[in-house]
Amino acid sequence: MSALVSVVNLKKYFPLKSGMLDRVAGYVRAVDDVTLDIDKGETLGLVGESGSGKTTLARCILKLIDPTAGEIFFEGANMTKLDEAAIREFRRHIQAVFQNPFQSLDPRWSIADIISEPLRTHMRMADKEIDDQIARLMSFVGLGEEQLYKYPHELSGGQAQRVAMARALVLSPKLVILDEPTSALDVSVQAQMLNLLADIKKKIGLTYLFISHDLSVVRYISDRVAIFYAGSVAEIGDSAEVFTKPLHPYSQALLSQVPIPDPKIARSKKKILIKGEIPSLVSLPSGCRFHPRCPYVKEKCVRDEPQLANVENRMVKCWLCQ
């Protein structure tokens, strides 16, 4: 598979200012030297505790914020070097759906206006063409045309998230970033939404970056998974392989928390508890950033930072595996 997006040594540091002179007293290292590919047609799941930098990485890929260092390639073009006109064109190809649809849908606009706005702004289309297109999209995301004349507050959470998805799809993007898209929904609606997302991807060959702290959801939807820890990738590989046999000690502990529906198997599986807290992104530990919490820590881990290395058909950032 070829890469649709390649993130290379990406860093995003936010300055911490203090005092009367607003002097920079330090940096929040939200994304710290991340390298990963999102392959065409795949769903890459991104998991990790909250505050681990997942959303900051997504915001860099969406060009909502500029990285501090590193590069992002989209279909081979270096996004960090594009001019304004090229960025506008690029934005059509990458869309996003966020956790709370009511925050991303303008409450003063009807659903028809919300979905058709990108077409009116970016495409030269006749009104009739636009009407046909949004009617097709509504049916595609499982909504009736009668919903077009409603306002966001008249919709349920699930319906509003379907509208957010329709709006994301209206310009035929190549990548959709889904940032906790099911977290605010009821469990029964969550399952419907996941099936819809999988269905849409299959029908039109989309690529997803799926961000969630819900491990069961990521396991269900992802082809590959990247485990994020304190601004950095700890492990990345085929989702089934990583969930079945995680190699990084952090992945092992995190994935041991995935609920197992069969009570017999669940009883035989031990949950691994991680001591301590995720470190502050302002003062990361020396060497391996997981070392203060790792049960296998050795001297080298405290001194030297491991790099991602190819182990058992995936990339792992741990001295134990190298």
Give residues in contact with ligand SF4 (CB under 6 A).
248-249, 288, 290-291, 294, 296-297, 301, 306, 318-320
Q: How far is the CB of 69 from ligand SF4 (least distance, A)?
A: 23
- Cβ of residue 235: shortest distance to ligand SF4, in angstroms? 10
**Minimum CB distance to ligand SF4 smaller for 35 or for 192:** 35
Closest CB to ligand SF4 among residues 119, 320: 320
Closest to ligand SF4 by CB, 171 or 297: 297
Nearest approach in angstroms of CB 292 to ligand SF4 is: 8
Beta carbon of residue 84, minimum distance to ligand SF4 (angstroms, whole number): 42
Q: Which is nearer to ligand SF4, 209 or 234 (CB)?
A: 234
What is the smallest separation between the CB atom of 298 and ligand SF4, expressed in angstroms?
6
**Smallest separation (angstroms) from ligand SF4 to the CB of 278:** 14
Closer residue to ligand SF4 (CB): 201 or 248: 248
What is the per-residue burial (b if ≥16 Cβ within 10 Å, else e) of 243-276? beebbbbbbbbbbeeeeeeeeeeeeeeeeeebee
Work out the number of other CB atoms within 10 angstroms of the CB of residue 33.
17
- Largest Cα span, the chain: 69
CB atoms within 10 A of CB 150: 15
**How many angstroms from the chain centroid is the CA of residue 245?**
22
Nearer to ligand SF4, 272 or 297 (CB): 297
Sign of the dihedral through C-alpha 241, 251, 210, 267: positive
CA contacts within 13 A on the Cβ side of 202: 8
Distance CA 293, CA 284 (A): 13
Residue 55 CB, shortest distance to ligand SF4, in Å, is: 24
Pick the closer one to ligand SF4 by CB: 80 or 252.
252
At its nearest, how many Å lie between ligand SF4 and the CB of residue 47?
Answer: 17
Q: How far is the CB of 140 from ligand SF4 (least distance, A)?
A: 44
Question: CB-wise, 195 or 257, nearer to ligand SF4?
Answer: 257
Q: How many degrees, rounded to 5, is the angle at CA 253 between CA 215 and CA 34? A: 70
What contacts 145, CB < 8 A, 6 or more positions away? Answer: 135, 138, 139
Which of 258, 257, 178, 173 lies closest to 210, judged by CA?
A: 178
Q: Which is nearer to ligand SF4, 142 or 285 (CB)?
A: 285
Closest CA to 248 of 50, 6, 3, 48: 48
C-alpha–C-alpha distance, residues 104 and 152, integer Å? 10
Judging by DSSP bridges, how do beta strands 94-97 and 3-18 pair with one another?
Answer: unpaired
Nearest in space to 26 (alpha carbons), one of 305, 280, 231: 280
